Amino acid sequence: MTRSAIRTGAALNNVSAGYARQVVLHEVSAVFPAGAVTALVGANGSGKSTALSVLAGIVRPAAGSVERPAGRAALVVQHDAVPALLPITVRETVEMGRWAGRPWRRRLSRHDRAVAERCLTRLGLDQIIGSRLSALSGGQRQRALVAQALAQETDLLLLDEPTAALDVPARETISRTLREVADSGVTVVHATHDLTEARAADHCVLLRQGRVLAEGPPETVLSQDNLLDAWH
């Protein structure tokens, strides 16, 4: 993606943010292009999840500003952060995506159900729609969570290590879906430790100890020197 082709989908402008006892992000500025997949890369604790939470509006910056599309963002947290014993089925999990931001107890429309159905199929979940979330493997659960996020039909899709510890087919299903969603105009941002995946992104933001070490095309951002810097 050339600089001139970049249309901003979301951006952090000089953002400092963190938690009660700790500032995690220090004056972070980064652009997340619309209609593109951005990989957020960095060592453990470098602030990737915190940056996603700031973009999602869950963590409020102590300083700086956040640009994002109007409406809610969909955030897919790491699947082991979701209580495995939630007594709901795969279908219910995905349909919950249609409840997001709506009045409580409003019935799902035919359109809502059709959208959920499409998302279930897209993530290859047709055979297990009636299964309890608690009965699924990590990869199946992750695909259900991605389908739930897609069902929200947002312009900003954020995912925290969506393919970590998944087998190759599950990883490919999710990566292909993220690509298709970005091609439809959505701003997709995923945190990843997988450099192959990061290199397949359109844009890359490399964090080191809560600061942006490099931003731009993956082939330049993920240079040997930058990677050494980021991990030391």
Ligand X SMILES: Nc1ncnc2c1ncn2[C@@H]1O[C@H](COP(=O)(O)OP(=O)(O)OP(=O)(O)O)[C@@H](O)[C@H]1O
Which lies closer to ligand X via its Cβ, residue 46 or residue 175? Answer: 46
Q: Tell me whether residue 94 or residue 205 sits nearer to ligand X (CB atom).
A: 205
Burial readout 117-150 (b: 16 or more C-beta within 10 A, e: otherwise): bebbebbbbeebbebbbeebebbbbbbbbbbbbb
Choice from 38, 50, 140, 187 touching ligand X (CB under 6 A): 50
Distance CA 159, CA 55 (A): 11
Site string for ligand X, 103-142 (x = CB under 6 A): ----------------------------------------
Residues 172-211 that bind ligand X (CB under 6 A): 191
Let me know: does 183 contact 97? Beta carbons within 8 Å.
Answer: no
| CA 19 – CA 156 distance, rounded (Å) | 23
Shorter beta-carbon distance to ligand X: residue 34 or 59: 59
What is d(CA 136, CA 117) in angstroms, rounded to the nearest whole number? 19
According to CB under 6 A, which residues from 16 to 45 bind ligand X? 19, 22, 24, 42, 44-45
State the minimum distance, in angstroms, from the CB of residue 136 to ligand X: 22
Does position 48 bind ligand X by CB under 6 A?
yes
Q: What is the dihedral of CA 154, 187, 74, 201, to 10 degrees?
A: 140
Residues in touch with ligand X (CB under 6 A): 19, 22, 24, 42, 44-50, 191
